[in-house]
Structure 1
Amino acid sequence: TGGLHNPFSLLLLGPVTISATALSLRSTIVLCGTAIGLATGLALFHLPLITQNGGRLELPGIFIFGIWIALVIAIVFSTAYSRRVTTEIHSMADALAATQMALAREQKLTDLGGVVAAAAHELGTPLATIKLASSELWNELQDQPDLAEDAALIRDQADRCRDILRDMGRAGKDDLHLRQAPLMMVLEEAAEPHRMRGKTFTFTLGPDAGDAADQPAILRRPEVIHGLRNLMQNAVDFAATTVWVEANWSDTVISVRIFDDGTGFPPHILGRIGDPFMRRRPSDRSNARRPEYEGMGLGLFIAKTLLERSGAELRFANGPDSAPKTDTPVGAVVKVTWPREKLDAHHGETPLPTGENTRFT
């Protein structure tokens, strides 16, 4: 009743907005077209809107045309915007899920190694008993070749199981040396996937680092390595030629700074870097320099989330006039700082046992 004279005609926006967040793209487009068609039909064909006094409420034609134009624009804009936001939210959820799956997989592999070692240890005793009993049976059944052959087969299979469990036990033992590494080695491990992308990596010690021989051994946590790797990937994406990775440590903190010789962070987004959907560069320039990435800001968001879970604090800034120990201008700088007790493998909150010294033969 009333067509577009009726103020409740604005409710046509509700279904199309909801469909953009819940339905497929094809269904959303069909619903938008249907809504625009209904708005057009209501503008031309409708029952009269009768007031309480019996009069007909009619607006000028130019006003109705303006309402129709506004409805069409609102339908298209609200649908496109809602669809874009929903798509990016789903992409962020997928990226976080992929990161969590990678970390969970590495944890499960570590746990599986311990289970294998425990199984090899527990099954050793019953297999030794089986081998002893089968050997005695073989000796006693020498006058019965058929039974002696079966006893020999049991003994040989027990030996085979022993060898298999021995190999499993060696593979499943938790090597304490693999759970820790010197700080610079962990940084080089994090940078390894990006060394072949045409940019030069330079690893340096900061002014407060002291001697490289005294660098701390830190825990090789998956979230630390993956978070640093994402930060280095971002630096490689925007660097002109070189990425610097600088390590510092003291009795209380461990810090890492990552420089690149790009153009730096735009000053107006420095306070929001690390938020989801926050791009470092405008989309056109970003896509030209990073054709392999969509550039939604998820890399920095995931890195920030993982590193903060490990106890780190991140700071984003534009660099000083030149890189450490060089005259090359610096663009963006990311500083990651941990309290030393959160990361130190020997003197931190969760120190690793040193284990027994084993003899090399």
Structure 2
Amino acid sequence: MDKSRSLVADALERSGVRVQTLVLLRWIAITGQLATIAFVGLYLQFPLPWAALISAIAAAAVLNVGLATLYPRNARLEGREALLHLMFDMAQAGIMLFLTGGLTNPFAVLLLVPITISATLLSARAMLLMMALGLTVLVIESRMPLPLPWRGAPIEMPEIYHFGIFIAIANGMIFIAGYVWLVSAESRRRAQALIATQAALERESRLSALGALAAAAAHELGGPLGTITLIAHELVEQLGNDPDFGDDVRLLEAEAARSRAILVGIARRAEAEDPFPLLTIDALLHEVVHGVTPSRVPIVIDTAQAPELRLRRTPELLHGLNNLVSNAVRHAGSKVEIRLEANSSEIRLRVSDDGAGFDRELLPHLGEPYLGPSRSRSGSTGLGIFIATTLLERTGAHLEFGNRPHGGARVDIRWQRSHIEATTPLNVP
């Protein structure tokens, strides 16, 4: 679990936007701005403040060239750097609008673009800073812009119209930024939690591969050890009765033979072992419990209804159950119970404790990654339960979370018997 959290933290630190992506987006904006003022000023013959407009566009172009030059193509802008660049884009768009009519300019809606991009990349605090800048730009655009370029006298819009445009764009900023941030934050949390899930699976897979590694090591060491054994045997024949070296060479031969026997035994056990062996449910649950020992409270296992029920010991099943039992042990008052029930169609497993139980506000959200302090009063992120849910659902399980009537939390896990039960013979040595 510590490694899972480390990977998640690393993913959090590396969130941001690639320099290449930001450069491309800004070149698109610059091209659009140049095309627009060229069409309006040269084709429509509207008067424009050319020097100021070209200067604003040139500033964006210079920044883009510097960004593309100073950073590698695959570098990422994160945190404060990404915020500063998006703030520049907002300010540059505000200057362009200020010079061409402010909120009466139909292109005022493009102020939403930097806000929307920031909502997909930045933290909540950074996004609020972008929102504050955007609203400030809106106020300036609504109060003191230069006139909208027009043939003849500039159009005078009613004050109520200016106010309506201001409210519309401000609401668009708030709604779009909030909606996009919530959706992207949920996506990031799920992606980060899946990184932790993958790390847990990789850990279990590596443990399962140790047997194969032991077999390979035994075969590789067999050759050199055979040579050592042969030489030791010849030394015994020649020096076995020597008063100075006899005892040493006999000991050398005995230890070489012992080492060879150990390697042969390791190789045989590893080759005979299935990476995902069949176990009775009773043996599997005891292995899960052993993984959380020493436990601060007793863990009672009841498999009386189907003690010989056979399951395949997969990393998903083992690690998912281990997470649920560990969570129950952490919050239990005096004991944890694991109870198995089975009928002809279903297998049901309940993990329960006698602690305070799940928060009522938290129950509908269990299984989601990173619940956050606003939902979890205990300060838990919910990552462990999310990992357990994800892993067990891969085995075909359906999970339900609740509280026991007389106190304590419960997790009910249900499988279709035909889906999870192993039907091949159980290898018993």
TM class by smaller structure = 0.5 to 0.7
Relative to structure 1, is the Cα distance of residues 56 and 162 closer, same or farther in structure 2, using a 3 angstrom cutoff?
farther
Q: Which runs of 5+ in 1 are unaligned?
A: 142-148, 323-327, 356-361
Q: Which residue of 1 aligns with 2:117?
A: 18
What pairs up with 1:230-245 in 2 under 5 angstroms? 230-232=323-325, 244-245=337-338
Q: Counterpart of 1:255 in structure 2: which amino acid?
A: R
Q: Secondary structure at the match of 2:428?
A: coil
Q: Which runs of 5+ in 2 are unaligned?
A: 1-99, 240-244
Aligned Cα root-mean-square deviation (Å): 4.8
Relative to structure 1, is the Cα distance of residues 247 and 21 closer, same or farther in structure 2, using a 3 angstrom cutoff?
same
What pairs up with 1:131-146 in 2 under 5 angstroms? 131-132=229-230, 136=234
Relative to structure 1, is the Cα distance of residues 343 and 93 closer, same or farther in structure 2, using a 3 angstrom cutoff?
same
Structure-1 separation of matches of 2:166 and 2:128: 19
Q: Secondary structure at the match of 2:376?
A: helix
Q: Secondary structure at the match of 2:413?
A: strand
Work out whether residues 189 and 370 of structure 2, in 8 Å CA contact, stay in contact via their aligned partners in 1.
no
Instruction: Tell me which of 108, 118, 138 is aligned to 1:39.
Output: 138
Q: Counterpart of 1:21 in structure 2: which amino acid?
A: T
Structure-1 separation of matches of 2:256 and 2:114: 66
Q: Which residue of 1 aligns with 2:201?
A: 103
What pairs up with 1:92-241 in 2 under 5 angstroms? 92-125=190-223, 127-129=225-227, 131-132=229-230, 136=234, 173-174=269-270, 179-190=277-288, 193=292, 196=295, 201-205=299-303, 209=305, 214-232=307-325
Q: Counterpart of 1:98 in structure 2: which amino acid?
A: A
Q: Counterpart of 2:427 in structure 1: which amino acid?
A: P
Q: Secondary structure at the match of 1:59?
A: coil
Q: Which residue of 2 aligns with 1:75?
A: 173
Residue 135 of structure 1, CA deviation: 5.7
Structure-1 separation of matches of 2:329 and 2:179: 32
Residue 12 of structure 1, CA deviation: 0.7
Residue 223 of structure 1, CA deviation: 0.9
Q: Counterpart of 1:187 in structure 2: which amino acid?
A: L
Q: Secondary structure at the match of 2:338?
A: strand
Give the % identical residues: 32
Q: Secondary structure at the match of 1:257?
A: strand
Matched, 1:305 2:390: yes
Work out whether residues 402 and 411 of structure 2, in 8 Å CA contact, stay in contact via their aligned partners in 1.
yes
Work out whether residues 265 and 318 of structure 1, in 8 Å CA contact, stay in contact via their aligned partners in 2.
no
Work out whether residues 346 and 416 of structure 2, in 8 Å CA contact, stay in contact via their aligned partners in 1.
yes
Structure-1 separation of matches of 2:129 and 2:256: 65
Q: Secondary structure at the match of 1:124?
A: helix
Q: Secondary structure at the match of 2:147?
A: coil
Work out whether residues 119 and 178 of structure 2, in 8 Å CA contact, stay in contact via their aligned partners in 1.
yes
Which has more helix, going by share of residues? 2
Instruction: Tell me which of 82, 88, 91 is aligned to 2:189.
Output: 91
Structure-2 separation of matches of 1:239 and 1:257: 15
Residues 271-313 of structure 1, C-alpha deviation per residue, up to 9 Å, x if partnerless?
Answer: x864x4596xx965x532x22x124xx544433332232233x
Work out whether residues 359 and 376 of structure 2, in 8 Å CA contact, stay in contact via their aligned partners in 1.
no
Structure-1 separation of matches of 2:137 and 2:311: 65
Structure-1 separation of matches of 2:215 and 2:190: 38
Instruction: Tell me which of 344, 347, 361 is aligned to 1:254.
Output: 347
Structure-1 separation of matches of 2:237 and 2:284: 57
Q: Which residue of 2 aligns with 1:287?
A: 376
Relative to structure 1, is the Cα distance of residues 67 and 87 closer, same or farther in structure 2, using a 3 angstrom cutoff?
same
Q: Counterpart of 2:389 in structure 1: which amino acid?
A: K
Residue 234 of structure 1, CA deviation: 5.9
Q: Counterpart of 1:354 in structure 2: which amino acid?
A: V
Structure-2 separation of matches of 1:237 and 1:77: 40
Residue 195 of structure 1, CA deviation: 8.3
Structure-2 separation of matches of 1:299 and 1:69: 44
Residue 4 of structure 1, CA deviation: 0.7
Residue 201 of structure 1, CA deviation: 4.9
Q: Normalising by structure 1, what TM-score?
A: 0.64
Q: Which residue of 2 aligns with 1:334?
A: 412
Q: Secondary structure at the match of 1:57?
A: coil
